Structure 1
Amino acid sequence: MKQIIIAIGREFGSGGHLVAKKLAEHYNIPLYSKELLDEVAKDGRYSKEVLERFDEKPMNFAFIPVPAGGTTISLEQDIAIRQFNFIRKKANEEKESFVIVGRCAEEILSDNPNMISAFILGDKDTKTKRVMEREGVDEKTALNMMKKMDKMRKVYHNFYCESKWGDSRTYDICIKIGKVDVDTATDMIIKYIDSRDN
C-alpha cells in the first residue's frame, strides 16, 4: 500500500477530530491526536499528564527561564519539538501511513509528497451546538471555549509555522461543517485523496 499521510487542522467544535477518526478507519491506518502523547511519553522524559497539560499550548513568555550562561527553550517548546520529531520519524524514516490532527503537521511534513492536508472549520451555530453537547455546557460557556481554544491553536501554529493557521492557501482542501455534515466532509476528503492517486 502506498504511504498516505493525512494532516487535519481544525477549529474547536468543528468536528475535525471526528473526520480524522473516520479517515483513519476508512484507510485502516493509525490516528495520532491525543494518541500521540502516549507515544511521546514512552521515552520517559515527561509523564502523559505533563504532555496533556502543555499539548498544543502556546508559550507563556512570562515564565521562560533565561540562564545566565546562555539560552534555553520552554517546556511548551520542548514538548512541541518532540511531537514534531516523532511525526517526522513516522513519516520520513519509518514510512508509516497515518492521520495526524493538529501539531502543525501540514507544514512539518510539507516535504513529504504523500501528505494531504485538510482544514475543517464550521459555522458558529453548528460548532456551538457540538461543544454544548460534548462538554455539557451552556451556550455562553461553549462560545467562550471556542474563542479561547481557537486563539490558542492559532498562536501555537503561527509561532512554529511560516504559514498562518486556517489560511486556505496552506491546505489542499478546506471544508466547512454545517454546510455539509461530518460524513459528507469525510467522503469529500476520501474522494480527493483517491483522485490524486489516479
Structure 2
Amino acid sequence: MTGNLVITIGRECGSGGRLIGNRLAEKLNIKCYDKELLTLAAKKSGLCEEIFESHDEKPTSSFLYSLVMDSYSMGYSTSSFIDMPLNHKVFLAQFDTIKHLADTESCVIVGRCADYALAEYPNVLSVFISGNMDEKIKYISKLYDKTPEKAKDIIVKTDKKRSNYYNYYTSKKWGDARSYDVCLNSSVLGPEGTVDAILEIIKLRERNRAGK
C-alpha cells in the first residue's frame, strides 16, 4: 500500500463520467482507467478480454458472491484460481488489478467498485458524478445517435446494471451520498467545471491534512 493519489469515479449513465475522468487525468498528468482496466485484468489472469467485457459490471448470484469474498479474504493460489467459476475469476482479477494499479501509480479509475476495492488506501478520493435526466438524454442521444426515447431507455437500463453490481459487491449503496467522499452534478457544473471542482477538492483535502 502506497501514498499514490487515486481518484475513483462512480457515474450515472449520460453524466459524462468517463469524459470527466479522462480530462481530470490529463490535468493531473496521470492515466485514466475505464475499459482499459479490463485489458489489464485479462492479461493478469490469462483470460481473454471478451470474457471480461461480457461480464463487465454485472452482478452474480449471492451464493457465488459469498464464494468470491471468502476466497479473497483467505487468499488464493494459482491452482485454486483455475478451478473457480468464470464470474469468480473475473471479479477477483479486476479487484486485484485495481489494487495493483493503486500500489504502483497515481491514477483515475472509472467504475468497477474501485472505491470499495481501495477502501483501506489512505490517499483515495471517491467521487460520484450524477446529472439531470434531460441533460443526460441529450448527451446519450448525441453520443450514440439515438432518439430521446431510446437514449432514456439506455440510461435507465445501464444505471440499473451498475447499481445492482455495486450494491452486490460492496457494503454501500450506489449513488447514495454516504457511499462516497464527494458527489457532484455535472449538469450544474458542466464537464470542465466538474473537473475543476475535483481538483479544488484535492487541494482542500491536502491543506486540511497538512493543518492537522
Asked if 1:36 is matched to 2:45, the reply is no
Q: Which runs of 5+ in 1 are unaligned?
A: 65-71
- For the pair 1:158 / 2:167, whether they are aligned, the reply is yes
Give SS of 2:189's match: coil
1:1-80 correspondence to structure 2 within 5 Å: 3-43=4-44, 45-59=46-60, 74-80=85-91
Cα separation, 1, equivalents of 2:7 and 2:205:
13
The equivalent residue for 1:106 is: 115
Aligned length: 187
> Structure 2: where are the runs of 5+ without partners?
66-82, 208-212
Cα deviation for residue 90 of structure 1 reads: 2.1
Q: Conserved in 2, the CA contact under 8 Å of 1:12 and 1:146?
A: yes
> 1:83 is matched with which residue: 87, 94, 106?
94
2:92 partner letter: I
User: What is the 5 A alignment of 1:75-154?
Assistant: 75-92=86-103, 94=104, 96-154=105-163
TM-score by length of 1: 0.88
- Structure 1 residue 60 displacement after superposition: 6.3
Runs of 4+ in 1 over 6 A off after TM superposition: none
Q: Which amino acid aligns with 1:111?
A: E
- Secondary structure at the aligned position of 2:188 is classed as coil
State the alpha-carbon separation in 2 of the partners of residues 154 and 12 from structure 1. Answer: 11
Matches within 5 A, 1:158-177: 158-177=167-186
**Counterpart residue type for residue 88 of structure 1:** K
Structure 1 residue 89: Cα displacement:
1.9
Q: What is the identity percentage for the equivalent residue pairs of Structure 1 and Structure 2?
A: 39
Q: Distance in 2 between matches of 1:191 and 1:38?
A: 31
CA distance in 2 between partners of 1:73 and 1:43 (Å): 16
Which residue of structure 1 lines up, in the alignment, with residue 69 of structure 2?
none
Partner of 1:193: 202
Bigger fraction of residues in helix? 2
Q: Report the TM-score when normalising by structure 2.
A: 0.82
* Contact 2:137/2:152, CA 8 A, preserved across alignment: yes
Are the aligned partners of 1:14 and 1:127 in contact in 2 as well (CA < 8 Å)? yes
Cα deviation for residue 132 of structure 1 reads: 0.4
Contact 2:20/2:192 (<8 A) preserved: yes
Tell me the CA shift for residue 74 of structure 1: 4.4
SS in 1 for 2:44: coil
RMSD: 2.0
What is the CA-CA distance between 1:45 and the residue it aligns to?
2.6
Whole-angstrom distance in 2 between the partners of 1:195 and 1:24? 18
Q: 1 CA distance for matches of 2:5 and 2:48? A: 30
Please tell me whether the aligned partners of residues 59 and 74 of structure 1 are also in contact (alpha carbons under 8 angstroms).
no
